[in-house]
């Protein structure tokens, strides 16, 4: 199984703890490469974003529709093992859910969950989509495809964005792709996270203008990890590429300073795209 990893490195004095970013459904590692990878490299961290199987240039596109969450957890595990030190995991939406599953059996120096479903699952969010767009929701379930959720730029804006220009929206929408219907079912009910292992510091962030998850659901995620959620004003679901992305990045950086030591500020070197090749029993 080949996994594409996009990396950005500081010019010198790298913080010894790397960062590994995990994207959400219908997205790819590209969503971290808009702002976050360069930002954190400029602040002293080696920053890596993995394309989960079936996304970007990673293998597995032919089996993506029925790929379970546990296979994505395996991707994160293998990507983390290739780094020189155990990384702090930063996940958005489904990526945060994958981290929740990862932490069932493993530890990490830290984890950041951004607009992440609670361990009780996505059923309330799925029902909201069904009430708002009954025909669209029926199409998703009849075709076993999540792509109808972002079939048009207007639908993508409603689901993921608040403050982006029409041109930015179009640029992002053109990079969106279909995703795992089985993974969606896992997040609704089939493979929900179990109580977490103690010992991993967790930061939980939500967007006040998120149309996918309510602040109460983000707060439930935080309670499961014995912490408090921080809800960022004027941010929608895609808080890493919203207009206020830097507010989100600054909050994460401040938290990292207490988790992994003070991060020096450096100019980032050119990025690196690499391919991780490993044998996978999951496909």
Structural tokens at position 257: 């300073």
- Number of neighbouring beta carbons within 10 Å of residue 256: 26
Give the phi and the psi of residue 100 in degrees, each rounded to 5.
-55, -45
pTM of the model: 0.92
- Number of neighbouring beta carbons within 10 Å of residue 151: 14
Dihedral sign for Cα atoms in the order 181, 185, 186, 187: positive
pLDDT for residue 262: 42
Q: What is the pLDDT of residues 82-110, one digit of tens each?
A: 999 999 999 999 999 999 999 999 999 99
pLDDT for residue 72: 98
Structural tokens at position 141: 């379930």
More confident residue, 131 or 11: 131
How long is the chain?
283
pLDDT for residue 280: 39
pLDDT for residue 265: 37
Q: What is the pLDDT of residues 193-208, one digit of tens each?
A: 997 777 899 999 999 9
Dihedral sign for Cα atoms in the order 184, 199, 110, 273: negative
Grouping H, G, I as helix, E, B as strand and the rest as coil, residue 230 is strand
pLDDT for residue 5: 97
Grouping H, G, I as helix, E, B as strand and the rest as coil, residue 260 is coil
pLDDT for residue 178: 98
Q: What is the pLDDT of residues 2-34, one digit of tens each?
A: 999 999 999 877 799 999 999 999 999 999 999
Q: What is the pLDDT of residues 19-73, one digit of tens each?
A: 999 999 999 999 999 999 999 999 999 999 999 999 999 999 999 999 999 999 9
- With a pLDDT cut of 90, the percent of the chain lying above it is 86
H or E segment to which residue 220 belongs: helix 215-224
pLDDT for residue 101: 97
At residue 77 the predicted structure's pLDDT band, cuts being 50, 70 and 90, is very high
Q: What is the pLDDT of residues 211-267, one digit of tens each?
A: 999 999 999 999 999 999 999 999 999 999 999 999 999 999 999 988 754 443 333
pLDDT for residue 196: 73
pLDDT for residue 195: 75
d(CA 133, CA 122): 16
Report how far apart, in Å, the C-alpha atoms of 210 and of each of 4, 114, 207, 240, 252 are.
29, 11, 5, 13, 18
């Amino acid at each position: 199984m080949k996994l594409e990893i996009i990396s950005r490195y500081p010019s010198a004095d790298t913080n010894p703890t790397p960062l590994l970013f995990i994207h959400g459904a219908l997205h790819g590692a590209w969503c971290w490469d808009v702002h976050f990878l360069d930002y954190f490299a400029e602040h002293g961290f080696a920053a890596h974003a993995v394309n989960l199987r079936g996304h970007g240039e990673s293998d597995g596109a032919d089996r993506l529709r029925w790929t379970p969450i546990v296979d994505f957890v395996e991707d994160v595990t293998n990507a983390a093992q290739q780094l020189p030190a155990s990384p702090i995991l930063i996940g958005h939406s489904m990526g945060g859910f994958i981290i929740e599953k990862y932490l069932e059996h493993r530890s990490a120096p830290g984890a950041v969950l951004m607009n992440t479903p609670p361990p009780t699952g996505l059923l309330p969010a799925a029902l909201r989509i069904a009430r708002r767009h009954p025909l669209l929701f029926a199409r998703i379930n009849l075709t076993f495809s999540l792509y109808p959720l972002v079939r048009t730029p207007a639908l993508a804006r409603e689901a993921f964005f608040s403050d982006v220009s029409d041109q930015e929206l179009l640029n992002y929408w053109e990079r969106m792709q279909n995703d795992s219907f089985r993974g969606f079912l896992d997040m609704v009910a089939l493979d929900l996270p179990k109580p977490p292992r103690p010992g991993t510091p967790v930061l939980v962030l939500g967007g006040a203008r998120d149309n996918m998850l309510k602040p109460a659901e983000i707060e439930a995620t935080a309670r499961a990890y014995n912490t408090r959620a921080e809800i960022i004003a004027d941010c929608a679901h895609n808080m890493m590429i919203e207009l206020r992305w830097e507010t989100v990045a600054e909050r994460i950086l401040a938290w990292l300073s207490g988790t992994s030591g003070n991060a020096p500020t450096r100019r980032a070197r050119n990025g690196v795209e690499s391919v991780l090749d490993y044998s996978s029993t999951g496909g």
